[in-house]
Structure 1
């Protein structure tokens, strides 16, 4: 009966995750947000279906490796080659500005240095899934604004790995010479691999004639590349996650990219569901409710800060106002990498549990409000395209839907009021006539 109970719990988890993912997919939003919601519903502050968090955490760690492996496979160094003059400076300025603001906040608000560095990295990164969805909905994915936005997201993905290595060394021992050496070696490996891929072009993988096209061997080979590179990196003292990313980057720029990506992606989707489910389990609804004002305030501050910073950076790098505005708005939400950085920081006690809860709450809110963000982006696009110059024109363009709805409501209210007054007057006249008849 114990096995039946375990299977029932697994069934509840999978069904809930699928249902929440389908709901968000129906509203044209990333299913990842649905998996977060499923974790909240199944977790300690929900229905308490999942009680063994250790097992979920173990699968989530595998999901992280698969996530970075797939991200590496989806990156094209050739795409970055043609836009690196914009993408690399943009990400560098985003990171430096975010770190400076958070370091100043650490002195003013008493935040620990480790937490300030972590928050600086978190604010600098954006959500690739949400940004791509916004570009698709706006029909701008293939336009210039889409290309520069994707290029910046690719550069952010590359910058995430050094960030992860730094965060992993923010524990009680601090960022010492050994940690700096680790980051330096990792950076040199990444630079050497990217340079090699640009020079050599798309090369074939070992044993590709045997592996590619084989139903059983292809997905297994993908897992071997992922976990094999992770194990090698871990054995030499580097981050296993970094090894998974480098392996994915090498395969993603090889001749076998498409067939391997097709067979590995379903496995990664399941592992990714488990990872975001585990993040949802960490979300404390009681904490969110008790600190609701602070969570919303931080969400608003981060969104406005990132929007203004991104627009300024794109405009500084030579983009037109319209493209700078739209690109800056689209990548102004927090990203999925926030959870990875937070998980690493929690594992080494670089941040407190309260700080981790606040970070997770703000990030979940940022992703969960993506439907409203899409609507806002469309309205802001209208403002950018029409080159509005006065505050009244901006207001009219932004709230055109609400103004139309308000006008319709006002017309309906006037008609209803007029009909009511006519009926009331008619009834009053009838009552007056009856009164006069009785007393005549």
Structure 2
């Protein structure tokens, strides 16, 4: 009984802390999901230890995964990305190719398995939809051309997550990826592609169960979630990822005539379950592992922050967008996404990743997400440059962080001069004290050697 009361007390403390941290992040102009992750990290087993059962935490995380993919599927507007689908598709495919290539190169240096290299390659290619949308809202670019391009790329990434999950889930066989696993992946991707084509070309679907519930305030959210979890269960029974079924359910509802009604009734429940998902990510953080492997984590995060951003900027610019827009979209897409946790969880469950590999991906993603305030400030500056009508890439770089780079250069020069002066002073001091030190050791100077010895 005491253990039960302790569990309930711990859940209550975690919920209150998540709310407080979420409000704090919103006050700072950051996404509330960062506050949920922070609350979980503080109250998790690695710090205070209010919640210590990692198996229960993983169960909550998997429940949040289903809800997240269901919500993403409902939010996808397949008709809304027609104008930017070429940019979105080409950018996403090349992001995946470069991410895999870079992680295979880094993995050969660090001694990773090919499964881990592939999973981290997928992770690097993805960006956070929640953080990116928050950035676009903060700078007022959500409904502009920059917002269309960025959202289009995020939608393409969300769609690419489904085959990624299927591929990672097929790694668990003893003999690697067999023909049956390859067939399942190919058929699942083909079915998803056909469903997308069907939903984007026809009028919106009419869901049969909506008429049966008649808009009842109690039955509507229950029917929506039952459709999500039921489809996830069917997907799991077929040997596929349950998250794949949840995504398909959200995609169908999102392109139906009842989308607004179902979304309005299920939004509060989805918000709570999504909070649970991000909170569980914070609870799973192992700070001891992070400290012991801080070099590897920072190396991967630096690779993502620099090379991913630069690649996105160049790619979007070469695909026809002017350079300020390309810089803005590239900065917004810089951080890793919440789907990284999903891929890591699937890899761990299938046996493709070890527990240490899972902790590495969680640590890298959390550190990347916690760096989003820097990218938000960058996006704000780039937004101001875009409003000025500047189209030069060199001028954009100069106006974005020109002052900081100049200050860094000046401080570096001052530090260099200070080191030179310190070295000169040290040499003079050594030269001045050398005769005294030699006399203290009984060595006579040249003047003393000229004098005759005393009697």
Q: TM-score range by the shorter chain?
A: 0.7 to 0.9
Partner residue in 1 for 2:314: 312
Does the aligned pair in 2 maintain the 1:56–1:274 contact within 8 Å?
no
| Counterparts of 1:112 and 1:152, CA distance in 2 | 29
Larger CA deviation: 379-388 vs 296-305: 379-388
The equivalent residue for 2:349 is 347
Aligned to 1:417: none
**Aligned CA-pair RMSD:** 2.2
Residues 390 and 25 (structure 1), Cα distance of their counterparts in 2 relative to 1, 3 Å cut? closer
Which residue is 2:86 aligned to? Answer: 85
Are 1:243 and 2:245 an aligned pair? yes
1:262 to 246, 261, 264: 264
Give the aligned partner of residue 144 of structure 1.
Answer: 145
Which residue does the alignment assign to 1:409? none
Task: Give the counterpart of 2:290 among 288, 291, 296.
Answer: 288
SS at match of 2:48: coil
Equivalences for 1:190-339 in 2 at 5 Å? 190-339=192-341
Deviation larger for 132-141 or 287-296 = 287-296
Match of 2:390 in 1: 386
Alpha-carbon distance change, 219 to 232 in structure 1, aligned in 2, over 3 angstroms: same
Q: Secondary structure at the match of 2:335?
A: coil
Q: Distance in 1 between matches of 2:147 and 2:81?
A: 13
| Residue 262 to residue 350, structure 1, CA distance change in 2 (3 Å) | same
Q: Distance in 1 between matches of 2:54 and 2:394?
A: 54
* Deviation, structure 1 residue 83: 2.2
| 8 Å CA contact 2:135, 2:332 repeated in 1 | yes
Q: How far apart, in 2, do the equivalents of 1:294 and 1:59 lie?
A: 28
| 1:72-221 matched pairs, under 5 angstroms | 72-171=73-172, 172-221=174-223
What whole-Å deviation, never above 9, does each CA across 1:121-178 have from its counterpart, x for those lacking one? 0011001111111111221111111101101100100000000111111234422211
Is 1:52 matched up with 2:53? yes
How many residue pairs align between the two structures? 403
Tell me: CA distance 1:96–1:246, structure 2 relative to 1, closer, same or farther (3 Å): same
1:412 aligns to what? Answer: none
- The alpha-carbon deviation at position 17 of structure 1 amounts to 1.4
Deviation string for 1:362-383 (max 9, x for gaps)? 2111111211221122234456
User: Contact 2:232–2:246 (CA<8 Å) still a contact in 1?
Assistant: yes
Q: Give the Å deviation of 1:388.
A: 5.7
Aligned residues of 1:383 and 1:398 also touching (Cα < 8 A): no
**2:401 paired with 1:398:** yes
Question: Matched residues in 1 for 2:59 and 2:393: separation?
Answer: 55
Which residues of structure 2 form unaligned runs of 5+?
Answer: 408-455
- C-alpha contact (below 8 Å) 2:43/2:50 kept by paired residues: yes
CA separation in 2, counterparts of 1:396 and 1:6? 53
Q: Which whole-Å CA distance do the structure 1 matches of 2:405 and 2:114 have between them?
A: 45
- Contact 1:212/1:260, CA 8 A, preserved across alignment: no
- What's the CA shift for 1:236? 2.3
Query: Looking at CA atoms only, which structure, 1 or 2, has the larger radius of gyration?
Result: 2
In the alignment, which residue of structure 2 is the partner of 1:435? Answer: none
Q: Distance in 2 between matches of 1:390 and 1:312?
A: 13
What's the CA shift for 1:283?
Answer: 1.0
* 1:396 CA drift (Å): 6.0
Query: Using the alignment, how far apart are the partners of 1:397 and 1:5 within structure 2?
Result: 51
**Is the CA contact (8 Å cut-off) linking 2:324 and 2:382 kept in structure 1?**
no
Q: Which residue of 2 aligns with 1:415?
A: none
Structure 1 position 387, deviation (Å): 4.7
Gaps of 5+ in 1: 405-440
Listed one character per residue, the Cα deviations across residues 377-401 of structure 1 (whole Å, up to 9, x for unaligned) are 223445665356768x955652558
